[in-house]
Chains A and B, each alone.
Chain A
Amino acid sequence: MALNRPSPVGRWTQHAWRLTALPLILLFSIPILMLFGRSSLQAIWENLGHETVIQAMLVSLGTTLTSLGLILLLGTPLAYLMGRHQFRYKRALDTLIDLPTVLPPSVAGLALLITLGRRGLIGGWLTELGIEIAFSTTAVVIAQTFIAAPFYVRAATLGFASVDGEIEQAAQLDGASRWQIFRFVILPLSRLALLSGAMMSWARALGEFGATMIFAGNFPGRTQTMPTAIYLGFERDFDSALTLSVILVVICFLSLLLIKVMVAYEADSA
């Protein structure tokens, strides 16, 4: 008995390794806290009244919500295909879906520009129809969708895949149609994965910057989002940039926390 109980010194050294977790925690926390340290509530309140700040927030809100709608609409069938079907070259397709998340956003922006720009393969054709995408709000939405959709698709794929095939078969035996099975069996059972994927996608779209800057450009009220305003504000109007940064940090932190709480709550009740 006595042999198994570590001495106080032994216990200390046993836990000493935990200190090695500290550097990264500090790396994450100190710079983010500095954003708050450098700005006061009063300054934030004043900057919130600036036209550029308001415009950037409105553009960000409008475009990210539109992107999220597109991602849900187009991502769900793709995730269903990936999660519940086997086919040739599935792994290649899976890798393709993951690609935008690891590509530098500037590469994504360049790729979009030379495809959908007015001299691009598809863009040139659209231009003849009178549709010009580059430098428009539509371009912001496309850039965000390109960058953020994989997060939802991946989560939804895993969610759909986790639904037991036997439940589906049981529903089929009871006479449920394909749509009914999806709507009343698979969707409810994977809702948490879909929800957290959607939140992640939205948060990522909100932070999208590099692809937007290249593909959509920068025009206040049209294509200037919060991250691009921060990037340019860094040079001209440091205070406005700080205010927008603080708002983004708070929004991102809260949405991530919300996902985690939801997951924990749901997992406990499952």
Chain B
Amino acid sequence: MKLKVLLRLILMMELLAAGCAPQPTAPTQFPAATAALPTPPPMNTSAPVEAIDLNVFAAASLTNAFEEIGQHFEAQHPGVTVVFNFAGSQQLAQQINEGAPADVFASANRTQMEIVIKAGGVVSDTQKTFVRNRLVVVFPQDNQAKLTTLQDLTKPGLKLVFAAKEVPVGQYSFDLLDKAIADPAFGATYKDDVLKNVVSYEDNVKAVLTKVALGEADAGIVYTSDVSGADAGKVGQLDIPDALNVIASYPIAPIQTSKQAELAQAFVDWVLSPDGQALLAKHNFIPVVK
């Protein structure tokens, strides 16, 4: 009898704490990328305003710039709280297609936007390219691997961290390698030699940056916008010449099923406004509207 009680107790306790199934696919596990905007209290104006949440699904690379844009947008729209979901664009596209309550989608490439358009989440041709981005090779501050040129990425024994091919920046990284093998300065085996050094394919660009900044990897490929502001001091950079560099185009669009269609459009317009573009430029993005 005592045994029975005891064993039941053990089981109960274990079952309480155990998670047998894998983690749910929450937006992302990386603190760096999930640093959601601390939602400020709705602004108090003389007239009582209705509190509205605007859900913006944005590529992880937009984290810093969009948090700032969100603050400006909230200041101009009393009662509105911009709630961000930052993750790899491919993840966001899936979430939207599975019915996540998004009002705006800002993707880091066309492919993921097309996927949402195809599933009916965004009306074709309502998407607009709002910003461009470049790739850059980053390495830990102390550069123990002594990287000075792009050719150094083939050094045997190097540890490189890429984003997975499904992540826009990962696809852009592969495009870059494809361009390089056509260039005699790199040689036909360049791509294979670089890929041999990849030890991990991360699920978003911020995870790549974090692992490089921590010194766990010798180098990684991220966007120039990722090494702006406070993050710039954490890593060293190797420029990628224009001839090889893949220019990433970011499309943005309101979600068709949004209950706040007008507000969603207003957010898109704000991002495309001179103010929004200037703010993105400040974060090392390439503005599209002058």
Please tell me if the beta carbons of A158 and B6 are within 8 angstroms of each other in the complex: yes
B159 CB–A CB distance under 8 Å: yes
Q: Contact: B25 with A231, CB < 8 Å?
A: yes
Q: Do the beta carbons of B20 and A196 come within 8 Å of each other?
A: no
Residues of A with C-beta under 8 A to B82: none
How far, in whole Å, are A169 and B22 apart by their CA atoms in the complex?
A: 45
The reply to whether the CB of A142 lies closer than 8 angstroms to some CB of chain B is no
Which residues does chain A contribute within 8 Å of B166, judged by CB atoms? 232, 235-236
Say if the beta carbon of B237 comes within 8 Å of chain A: no
Given contacts A192-B7, A196-B10, contact A162 B23 (CB under 8 A): no
Residue interface mask A233-259, B partner, CB < 8 A = 1: 011101000000100110010011001
Interface size class of B (residues with CB under 8 A): 35 or more
Asked if B18 lies at the interface with its beta carbon under 8 angstroms from chain A, I say: yes
Residues on the A chain within 8 Å of B22, using CB: 207, 209, 226-227, 230-231, 245, 248
Is A270 in contact with B4, judged by CB distance below 8 angstroms?
yes
Judge whether B19 is part of the interface by a CB distance below 8 angstroms.
yes
Q: Does A260 contact B (CB under 8 A)?
A: yes
Answer whether residue B47 sits at the interface, using C-beta atoms and an 8 A cutoff. Answer: no
**Interface contact B31-A252, CB-CB below 8 Å:** no
- A-B contacts counted at CB < 8 A amount to 145
Residues of chain A in range 110-138 having any CB-CB distance to chain B below 8 Å:
110, 113-114, 117-119, 132, 134-135
Q: Is the CB of B20 within 8 A of A256?
A: yes
Once the chains bind, are A219 and B20 in contact (CB under 8 Å)?
no
Is there contact, CB below 8 Å, between B11 and A203?
Answer: no
B1-31 at interface with A (beta carbon < 8 Å): 2-4, 6-11, 13-15, 17-23, 25, 29-31
Q: Known interface pairs A118-B215, A218-B164. Does A235 touch B199 (Cβ–Cβ under 8 Å)?
A: no
Q: Does B236 belong to the interface (CB within 8 Å)?
A: no
Is residue B91 within 8 Å, beta carbon to beta carbon, of the partner chain? yes
Q: B10 contacts which of A154, A214, A227 (Cβ < 8 Å)?
A: A154
B198 in the interface (beta carbon within 8 A) = yes
Binds A, one of B124-132, B200-208, B245-253, B275-283: B200-208
A200 interfacial by beta-carbon distance below 8 Å: yes
By the criterion CB–CB under 8 Å, are B91 and A193 in contact? Answer: no
Does residue A223 face the partner (Cβ distance < 8 Å to B)?
yes
**B90→A193 contact, CB < 8 A:** no
Closest to B215 in A: A119
B199 touches A217 (CB 8 A): yes
Pairwise interchain contact B29-A155, C-beta atoms closer than 8 A:
no
Give bound CA distance, A196 to B30, whole Å. 33
Find out whether the CB atom of B90 lies under 8 angstroms from the CB atom of A235.
yes
- In the assembled complex, B88 has its CB within 8 A of some CB on chain A: yes
Segment with Cβ contacts to B, from A17-25, A100-108, A179-187: A100-108
Q: Does B11 contact A260, Cβ atoms closer than 8 Å? A: yes
Q: How far is the CA of A196 from the CA of B15 in the complex (A)?
A: 11
Q: How far is the CA of A245 from the CA of B24 in the complex (A)?
A: 11
Q: Which of B10, B19, B201, B211 has the most CB of A within 10 A?
A: B10
Chain A residues with Cβ under 8 A from B3's Cβ? 162, 192, 266-267, 270
| Contact B9 A102, beta carbon cutoff 8 Å | no
Residues of A within 8 A of B13 (CB): 154
Which residues of B from 208 to 229 have beta carbons under 8 Å from A? Answer: 211, 214-217
A210 CB–B CB distance under 8 Å: yes
A217 CB to nearest chain B CB (Å): 3
The reply to whether A135 and B14 form a contact with Cβ atoms under 8 Å apart is no
Contact among A117, A196, A270 with B216 in the assembled complex (CB-CB below 8 Å): A117
**B90 to nearest A CB, angstroms?**
4
In the complex, the answer to whether B23 meets A227 with C-beta atoms within 8 Å is: yes
Check: B180 CB closer than 8 A to any chain A CB: no
The contact of A105 among B9, B23, B31, B90, by CB within 8 Å, is B23
Contact B94 A196, beta carbon cutoff 8 Å: no
Q: Residues of B contacting A216 with CB < 8 Å?
A: 200
The verdict on B271 contacting chain A, using a C-beta distance below 8 Å, is no
- For this complex, 8 residue pairs linking A to B, each with C-beta atoms less than 8 Å apart, are A101-B17, A154-B10, A155-B10, A207-B23, A213-B203, A214-B207, A255-B20, A263-B7
Inter-chain pairs besides A102-B17, A117-B216, A204-B19, 4 sampled, C-beta below 8 Å: A213-B203, A214-B29, A226-B22, A232-B203
CB-based closest 8 A-B pairs: A217-B200, A227-B22, A252-B20, A267-B4, A135-B199, A235-B90, A119-B215, A236-B166
